[in-house]
Structure 1
């Protein structure tokens, strides 16, 4: 290349005027300034740069106008994509719906849970409350609460609220703070200890009686006395908490004009030392005996024409080292007999001056009563069989009223 084609630069000396230094303040920007479009240089002529004037401020460059054609193209593309996306979403939703419907139309076998059967629980069997008991003596009878323990003292009756062990002899001879007492005498009774608070009239078995209330050591004592067939009867309440039981006893009290067992036959057992009476419709038989004479003997008193109904079996055991322990074993085995239709009732009382327990309930459609008494070195077991209606209950109670140890 020759020198005419190469641009030539001339040296320009720039000097700074420091004579009057002023702070820099940019000039105001004109409202409308059209940028100058430079004229392309003539390449054929020689190029000489224009001199630059000192302190000439730079003119700001305006941004070029936006490319509106490219922006419009992007909007058009977006407007195309929106309906396309909606169309694709609709197709997907329809496909999923049809697929689910097809799956739901197919029955799927599922395992049905089997309920675990509940284990049977044992139903608690409540011990039945014993029925009111009946006491029969030669001159009277009455019913009393099974919660009371009765001691038969040769025609007198002593009732206690608990089942504490007591010697029958001491109870009958001295009394042991009994709750209720029934006594019979051929002479009038002496006045009770204590202060008389009130006196009035009442009736017992339609017979006029005298009722008196005493106070002794802060306790209330009620006495009801009457005269019947040249004998005197007195019924005493020592425990005021049993007033309801006392009134029930008075309401059931029955006086006999004559002894119901007066014409009965007398049975005497010399071996075991006891006596009892029985009515003529019953017969006595020696059902079993120990040939060696060691321990056992059974006596049966039964009706001839009732096929075992109203039958009394009396079994005696003698020569025992401890009759109370043997009686306890007999009582336990009797309570646990498998023949009981339901749990039997148990009541304490005395028999002929000896302690005893009564166990009764239903067996095979019959009413069965067991009485176990222990006396000295012997144990006496009684078994009375009756029908379910207990039509022979009075007969059995009268037999018990005549039982005595010699």
Structure 2
């Protein structure tokens, strides 16, 4: 049984591990890329519903994982594939879900659930299977409503690396980048290394002085789960390093934290942006990009004018915005070397329209180094 916070119930079949799981119900619209979604740390604490009806036909492999484990709190599909048919597959999806202890449900109309969430908004939910399916209706609903709300949650400590590690630059080296791991994806680290950066991945507890001691060429804040309003320490860390003139690039959660560091607020979206088909306008080029998203919060900044940072970082413009609802999808600082985007330009499983942003970051770091030398 899938039980939503408002009492709506959907009956299906146990899928993956059996038992009970609680989280925030969200939907993902990609017809492919379920493995990347499952292993994306940004989905920690969320029960993900796939709107595409047939899931699992390409199986699972070790090459496409975005982290070392499955992070979703639960998984809901309409029709799980009975056969794995892909030459790269090493295991089936349901085997990985069971091995990872991920409680799922199949055989429900996930598009009906999506339409409900699209109208009512993302909400707490629970999946109950096995012995937990026998719990009373009111008992299941009480458990769901007693679950944690995504507002106010700081999940960085759960998803971050416990120890520092480095990925060497590939090709011509341009410098080093300190990556604060707030739930970083493997493809992000690979793209940074391919741009010539020694990628120093750091635990989320790293201090400004510890980063300064590393003398990085730039700072990067990764994607990640949770409420940006609950990450005051990371905001203060970013402000400190921006004042030390360290170039900065942030993705997703890193965009929200840059927004807060500059003095803007953040707010929770009704149902969030998720999936791989969100249209975003890059205002610098006028080009519309189809992009991958997973965020339930957004930055509250004016999209039609250049504004002044309340924290003294100068002029700021909204560089990208979503054409569906005008949500801020990127920030560009005009007086300091810093920018960020809300979506996922690494886009493992595609699309790759926004991959150029890693080149833009490389160019920013090189330009800043040249200015310092002058």
TM-score category by the smaller chain? Answer: under 0.3
Greater radius of gyration (CA): 1
User: How high is the TM-score relative to the length of structure 2?
Assistant: 0.24
Higher helix share: 2
Q: TM-score w.r.t. structure 1 length?
A: 0.23
- The structure, 1 or 2, with the larger RCO (C-alpha pairs under 8 Å, 6+ apart) is 2
